[in-house]
Chains A and B, each alone.
Chain A
Amino acid sequence: MIIDVNFVGLIIASIMASAVPLILASCGELITERSGVLNLGVEGMMIIGAISGFALMTVTGSLIIAVFGAMLAGVLISTIFAFLTQTLITNHVATGLALTIFGIGISAMIGKNFVGIPGKEFPVLFEGLKDTIPLLSPILFGHSIVFYFAFALPFITSYFLKKTKIGLIVRAVGDSPESASNQGINVRFVRYACILYGGAMCGLAGAYLSMIYTPQWIENMTGGRGWIALALVVFSTWNPIKILIGAMIFGGLTIIQFHMQAIGVRIPVQFLTALPYIVTIIVLVVISRDSRKIRLSTPSSLGKSFHKDN
């Protein structure tokens, strides 16, 4: 049997494409968690981004407005979370759940008028180079700008956390808010900023789904990706580069479903659909088993409220 190398390249490219929303959302959440805040509202923020992007694209016709609008929508919805957890000192887990329930409801409410409308074509870069190098061309060229951004993001995030002063401040706030505060860092401000940044990335992840990947609006279209993104952050032990690996594994599981069905493998479709969720559980178990390692890499103040008495 001759395997067409370009076909292999196409499969890898499709795996990467399905990894994009996971990378974006996970990298955003990673920064939030590094500052000590556990935002379980990823799914809600993503779905808000998805509908905002799609709706703005349909209404204004501008892709740029739509993409940035989706990020802004993510920021706005995460502001609710930031205000509640940072200013009113509410429980992170409960507030994040409320955000997800609220987000799914609001998105379906807005999205009612956008069901069944076809999406627009999103421009791709380097299309001319698509047939130049066998195997590598389909992987490297002919993708949207969001795609390239997503694959650069883990490296940017890693550089930001390790090498920049602001990155150091974020880590300090997450690992020891008391000492950071004593050093004159405004803990609440830093956490606000990290939550809003996480919201922007989740908004972008949602917009990628509804504007580029699918591209149309389907109710509840994030389908648990937000939760998988949360799991990926644990999987990565809060290291952005490892998010890339994890997201590729999950992207691969999503793509495998389609190909297994296409070549006629006799496995119930429901089992294949359940695979990413089951693998997530298994991976979490394997990663978390070593409790010492997890404790060392988890931001020490993760999920704990910080209140400075005046």
Chain B
Amino acid sequence: MIKIVKRDQPSKTIFFFTPVLAIFLTLVAGGLIFYILGFKPFEALKFFFIVPIADKYGLSELLLKATPLCLIAIGLSFCFKSNNWNIGAEGQLTFGAIVSGGVALLFYDQEGFYILPLVILSGAIGGMIYASIPAILKTYFNTNEILVSLMLVYVSKLILDYLVVGPWSNPEGFNFPETRQFSDSARLPLLFEGLRIHTGIFLALAAVVISWFVFYKTYLGFQMKVSGFSLKTAKYAGYKGKKMIILVFLISGACAGLAGVGEITGPIGQLHREVSPDYGFTAIIVAFLGRLHPVGIIFASLVVAITYLGAETAQIFMQIPKYTGQVFQGMILFFLLASDYLLYFKFKFIDSKK
């Protein structure tokens, strides 16, 4: 007989094993969905997960997509670790892109070494301003941060839409919903000739290192961890709860804003209607899949980035709808949450004859 028993302590091995299990289960379920849709499962999975990254160009695209995911997820891990549900990173990304794009447009006909740092900084500040809204409303008005941050996503996309259609649209652009091209000084330099991967990746790597340091080597990181486990304990210990809520929101807003900067000053070089294919939402999955651990998030962002590329490739070669990417992302999170059951419970074989 098999009995389910609660573990005395969550298992450490399983903590890092379940993400792998979740990815495996997602592949199995994905194959099944492809089969139901009338495709050969293995071939479809191959087009989805292997073909897109089989060459140099594909790898560059993978890193290009993984960069914003990693950056945002790192920021979100600050929030999630301390029990703050910021799910509006998409809005913070968009607002960061708007502010940095605005600064870049100010200098559209100028060159200078100072432009790019200004643009990057303004993107981070834009994201922080936008993230501070749910944070302040949560701390001083007791308002649910989930709903506020989410509503602000819709608002940010409408602000962007208004700007690129109206006041910021390119005067020589034949009414296309896009702004002027930024000057070269406002662009993040490309890493290799002919590939789209750009220096924004260093921003993501810097975020990884800094967050690792903060989480594991500072008092702040410790405070966040304690508040994540139990807000009551944190209160007893005398931590300044309100300050921390605002701080983690600002950090994650800055990261999302920087991701926005990367999107517009990288390969595109202008503001247009859709600066992000829902990176802000997908990064939530990345953060969980990476176990809110900086190194885990690097791996998770690469895995989830494949779902973006795979969806595109599968659509071109097999006419599989591109939304399969989102389905895969949802499934990864489902399976990850489900396999967490193994963290807290174990199966025990009991000899029923006794």
A-side interface residues toward B, CB under 8 Å?
40, 80, 84, 88-91, 93-95, 97-99, 101-106, 108-109, 112, 224, 227, 230-231, 234, 268, 270-271, 273-274, 277-278, 280-281, 284-285, 288-291, 294, 309
Contact = CB atoms under 8 A, between A and B. Distances in A.
A40 B87 CA distance: 11
A188 to B, nearest CB: 14
Contact of A84 (B142, B143, B165, B334): B334
What 7 pairs across the A-B complex have the smallest Cβ distances?
A102-B330, A105-B326, A98-B333, A108-B323, A105-B327, A270-B162, A90-B337
Contacts of A280: 147, 151
Interface in B107-160: 137, 141-144, 146-148, 150-152, 154-155, 158-159
Contact of A109 (B146, B152, B327, B337): B327
A288 B321 contact: no
Task: Name, among A40, A274, A291, the residue most crowded by chain B CB atoms within 10 Å (CB to CB).
Answer: A274
**Which of A227, A270, A309 neighbours the largest number of chain B CB atoms within 10 Å of its CB?**
A270
A106 B334 CA distance: 14
A105 B323 contact: yes
Given A89-B344, A227-B151, A271-B162, A99 B337 contact: no
Contacts, number: 128
- By secondary structure, the B interface counts as helix
Q: Is the interface of A mostly helix, strand, loop or mixed?
A: helix
A281 B137 contact: yes
B67 interface: no
Contacts of B159: 270, 274
B331 interface: yes
Nearest to B288: A94
In this complex, the member of B151, B162, B325 whose beta carbon has the largest number of chain A beta carbons within 10 angstroms is B151
A102 B338 contact: no
Contact of A271 (B148, B154, B158): B158
A108 B321 contact: yes
Given A97-B284, A270-B159, A271-B162, A224 B154 contact: yes
B184 interface: no
Given A89-B341, A89-B344, A284 B334 contact: no
Contact of A227 (B142, B147, B281): B147
B143 A285 contact: yes
10 contacts: A40-B146, A93-B85, A97-B333, A98-B334, A101-B285, A101-B329, A227-B151, A277-B155, A284-B144, A309-B6
B142 A291 contact: yes
Interface in B48-73: none
A285 B321 contact: no
B334 to A, nearest CB: 5
Nearest to B85: A93
A278 B151 CA distance: 7
Contacts of B285: 98, 101
Contact of B338 (A88, A227, A289): A88
Nearest to B37: A109
A280 B155 CA distance: 11
Interface residues of B, number: 44
B334 A102 contact: yes
B330 A105 contact: yes
Contacts of A284: 137, 143-144, 147-148
A84 B337 CA distance: 8
A103 B329 CA distance: 11
Given A91-B337, A227-B147, A102 B327 contact: yes
Contacts of B284: 94, 97
Contacts of B171: none
A104 B326 contact: yes
A277 B154 contact: yes
A105 B282 CA distance: 12
B34 to A, nearest CB: 11
B152 A281 contact: yes
Contacts of B325: 105
Given A101-B281, A270-B161, A291-B142, A112 B330 contact: no
A99 B141 contact: no
B142 A294 contact: yes
Contacts of B324: 105, 109
A133 B206 CA distance: 70
Nearest to A278: B155
Contacts of B148: 281, 284
Nearest to B322: A108
Contacts of B141: 285, 288-289
Interface string B240-252: 0000000000000
Given A90-B340, A101-B282, A289-B142, 15 more contacts: A88-B341, A90-B338, A94-B333, A94-B337, A105-B324, A105-B328, A106-B330, A108-B323, A109-B323, A270-B159, A274-B158, A280-B151, A281-B152, A284-B137, A289-B143
A95 B285 CA distance: 11
